[in-house]
Amino acid sequence: MPHTALPATAAFQALLSHHAEVRDRHMRDLFAADPQRFDNMTVKAAGILLDYSKNRVDHTTLKLLFELARERGVERQRAAMFSGEKINFTEHRAVLHTALRAPRGQALIVDGQHVGEDVHAVLDRIHSFTERVRESQWLGLSGKPITDIVNIGIGGSHLGPQMACTALRTFAHPRLTMHFVSNVDGHDLHDVLQRVDVETTLFIVASKTFTTQETMMNAGSARDWFLQRAAAADLAKHFVAVSTNTEAVRAFGIDTDNMFPFWDWVGGRYSMWSSIGLSIALAIGFKNFSELLAGAHAMDKHFCEAPLERNMPIIQALIGIWNRNCFNSESLSIAPYHHDLRHFPAYLQQLEMESNGKRITRDGSAVGVATCPFIWGDVGTNGQHAFFQLLHQGTDITPIDFIAVLHATHDLPGHHAVLLANCFAQSEAFMRGKQAEEVRDDLKKLGVDDDEINFLLPHKTFNGNRPSNTLLLDALTPATLGALIALYEHKTFVQGTIWGINSFDQWGVELGKVLAKTIQSELAGEAVPARHDCSTNALIALAKKALSDTQD
Ligand SMILES: O=P(O)(O)OC[C@H]1O[C@](O)(CO)[C@@H](O)[C@@H]1O
């Protein structure tokens, strides 16, 4: 079906003309002109407040952005996704992670399958299994309760579970220690195996395909480690699988009674709501896991029902389009001011960059504009002492998403106020900057002489006008975390729709999976070295020597 590339649309052209008129305007002036700017540019949903007032937008900008969303068919695509249409058009698959968090009783049939019934049947199994482990009814080989859970997976089968278990650690079962192994680098698994006891460890092999090289290698090594210490008959008490591939699970030697399935309409990076979330449910309990799903569902409802002008994922997506496609911002920095959200930037890297790191639209033509920015970041306040200097005074302007939580779960006096003060001070400074006159006054008060002031002035002046969103959560709970993740999922989807790309395939990553295999067989000496460039040939030779020295 022919597709109109973004640059050819009237709404985008109108946005570009508006940008040419307003791009030099300073946010300080926008704030001065509208004392109600905060009230006018905040939206609340599912326990989250989004303050987007510290962006270079005004009423006209927003109007043009909403027109763009309408012209690009965001509402139509949203309905298509939720109803199970095969919007993943290169893999001919439905995209139904939202069905994983819908309450029992949803009537949705895809390819003759009753999706809601299937989802809740698996959730019921997760419920009973996690209770048995948590209540010390599921016992290890010597009759002891499980103390350590090792999730072996990568990408979407790792990042979501690890991020959520860390974020919700205050809800976790005190007896259970969670471990996450993802990297094919043996140092990762080796480190964990040194810290666990074979009698009380449960391994979850989490892989949608059950063919991913890293996961299968780690799972195989974990199984070898286990069998060196225990009998094969004990494997069923210590290994469970999460996958869509029953045959491969059976071939690996995991009892399919110990397999928790999911479906091809769940994308890897959207899968933590499925049985890929088994480790989360084990850590925080099924009731809390259900609240995580309910929080995401509350955001789904908001996304489906709120008018575009009050719709948080749509607003966040449109602000991102404005920054990326009009101001050419190449990256988006994620700054969670909560230590337990420290894995959130890495989670979003896969979510956004694997989804929208694309350049071809649905009819095979080029997008014609820049797509996904680089996503990166670290927790506040650590980031302030590492890369914030560049964000304040570097030559690139990088938009930032500040994520703050009003109530802490610790009782150490003073810390939380200082943390929040830093967060708000940073977003204010990025917006306001510090003008030459303010710098001069400050230095004068300190008694600095005029020559020194003139010398220092350009270095100590900040232009400001650097955009940010602030997302405020009342508390970090399963429900608000669920809503926060769903918010970014839908934001990603809306941006993909505006660019006209498929946010749900990942051919680039598939290529990487194939490429390593050639060199792998050359390193193993099984293949005649392919004709690489001289650098790659030399590196292979060095590694080959090192590997054979280690074996000697
Ligand atoms: O769950 P699997 O099949 O092991 O895949 C792991 C990850 O690999 C990818 O296919 C590519 O990184 C992701 O989309 C997925 O989350």
* DSSP state letters, 148-165: EEEEE--GGGTHHHHHHH
Q: How far apart are the first and last CA of the chain?
A: 60
Residue 509 CA: nearest ligand 1 atom is 11
Comparing CA positions, the residue from 258, 237, 240 lying closest to residue 141 is 237
Indicate the residue type of 337: Y
Residue in 297, 249, 244 with CA at minimum distance from that of residue 273 = 297
C-alpha of residue 10 to centroid of ligand 1, in Å = 38
Residue 465, ligand 1, Cβ within 6 A: no
- Nearest ligand 1 atom to alpha carbon 153: 4
365-381 pLDDT, tens per residue?
Answer: 999 999 999 999 999 99
Q: Which residues lie across from 360 on neighbouring strands?
A: 366
Taking 70 as the pLDDT cut, the residues of the chain under it are 1-2, 529-530, 551-552
Query: Residue 366, CB half-sphere, CA atoms under 13 Å: how many?
Result: 4
Distance between CA 495 and CA 355 in Å, rounded? 10
Question: How remote is the CA of residue 87 from the centroid of ligand 1, in Å?
Answer: 19
Kindly tell me the sign of the dihedral angle through the C-alpha atoms of 312, 318, 320, 323: negative
157 ligand 1 Cβ < 6 A: yes
From residue 450, alpha-carbon distances to 236, 440, 458 in Å are: 78, 9, 14
pLDDT number for residue 216: 97
What residues have CB less than 8 Å from 205, skipping those under 6 apart? 152, 153, 215, 219, 222, 239, 240, 241, 242, 243, 249, 252, 254
Proportion of the chain in helix, strand, coil states, percent, rounded to 5: 55, 15, 30
The per-residue pLDDT for 534 is 92
To 5 degrees, how large is the angle CA 394–CA 400–CA 401? Answer: 165
Ligand 1 touching residue 513 (CB < 6 A)? no
* Atom of ligand 1 at shortest range from CA of 209: 3
Residue bearing the CA closest to ligand 1, atom 9: 155
Sheet-wide strand order for 468-475: 42-45, 48-51, 468-475, 400-407, 331-337, 374-377
The finding on whether 208 has its CB within 6 A of some atom of ligand 1 is yes
For the annotated catalytic residues, the residue numbers are: 354, 385, 513
- Ligand 1 centroid–CA 65 distance in Å is 33
CA distance 205 to 256: 12
What is the token pair recorded at 123? 């959730």
Residue nearest atom 8 in ligand 1 by C-alpha distance: 155
Domains in the chain, CATH or no CATH each: 6-86+292-408+415-499 (3.40.50.10490), 103-284 (3.40.50.10490), 510-551 (no CATH)
CA of 268 to the centre of ligand 1 (A): 5
Closest residue CA from atom 14 of ligand 1: 268
Rounded to two decimals, what is the model's pTM? 0.97
Q: Is the CB of 155 under 6 A from ligand 1?
A: yes
Q: Is 245 in the pocket of ligand 1 (CB under 6 A)?
A: no
Ligand 1 and 161: CB distance under 6 A: no
Longest dimension (CA), the chain: 83
| pLDDT (tens digit per residue) in 155-170 | 999 999 999 999 999 9
| pLDDT number for residue 517 | 85
Which sign does the torsion angle of CA 259, 262, 263, 267 carry?
negative
Q: Provide the 8-state DSSP code for 99.
A: G
Rounded CA Rg of the chain = 26
In 228-348, which ranges are continuous DSSP H helix? Answer: 235-238, 246-252, 278-284, 286-305, 312-321, 344-348
Q: How far is the C-alpha of 500 from the C-alpha of 419, rounded, in Å?
A: 40
pLDDT for the residue numbered 552: 62
Residues 54 and 37 sit within 8 Å (Cβ to Cβ): no
Residue 88 — φ and ψ, nearest 5°? -80, 85
Cα separation values, 186 from 137, 198, 486, Å: 32, 18, 33
Q: State if residue 274 touches ligand 1 by the CB under 6 angstroms criterion.
A: no
- The pLDDT score that the predictor gives to residue 1 is 58
Best mutation site among 212, 274, 350 for ligand 1 pocket (most ligand atoms within 8 Å of CB): 212
Q: CB of 218 closer than 6 A to ligand 1?
A: no
Beta strands (DSSP E) in 379-467 are 400-407
Residues 363 and 2 sit within 8 Å (Cβ to Cβ): yes
The response to whether residue 209 sits with its C-beta less than 6 Å from ligand 1 reads yes
406 φ, ψ to 5°?
-70, -40
3-state secondary structure 22-65: HCCCCHHHHHHHCCCHHHHCEEEECCEEEECCCCCCCHHHHHHH
Q: What was the pLDDT predicted at 529?
A: 67
Determine the atom of ligand 1 nearest the C-alpha atom of 271. 16
Supply 545's token pair.
């020597």
Ligand 1 centroid to Cα of residue 511, in Å, is: 12
Whole-number pLDDT of residue 492: 98
Let me know if 367 is exposed, middle or buried by CB neighbors in 10 A (0-12, 13-18, 19+): middle
- Residue 425 in tokens: 């001070």
Structure tokens at 256: 């399919």
Locate the ligand 1 atom nearest the alpha carbon of residue 243 and give its number: 1
Query: Is the C-beta atom of 184 inside 6 A of ligand 1?
Result: no
The Å distance, Cα 102 to ligand 1 centre, comes to 24
